Amino acid sequence: MYLDADARKCTGCRVCLTICSLYHFKEVNPKKAALSIDAKFPKPGKYEPLICNQCGICASVCPVEAISENNGVYIIDPDKCNGCGECVKECPTQVMFLHEDSPVPIKCDLCKECIPVCAPGVLFVKE
pLDDT in tens, 13-42: 999 999 999 999 999 999 999 999 999 998
Q: With 90 as the cut, is the pLDDT of residue 43 above it?
A: no
In whole numbers, what is the pLDDT of the chain averaged over residues? 96
What is the pLDDT, as a whole number, of residue 112? 97
User: What is the pLDDT, as a whole number, of residue 93?
Assistant: 94
Contact 33, 113 (CB under 8 A): no
Query: Any residues with CB less than 8 A from the CB of 120 and at least 6 apart, and which?
Result: 9, 10, 11, 13
**CA-to-CA distance for 89 and 70, rounded, in angstroms?**
22
CATH for 2-126 is 3.30.70.20
Q: Are strands 123-126 and 2-5 parallel, antiparallel or unpaired?
A: antiparallel
The whole-model pTM stands at 0.92
Tell me the pLDDT tens digit for each residue of 60-77.
Answer: 999 999 999 999 999 999
- pLDDT of 118 > 90? The answer is yes
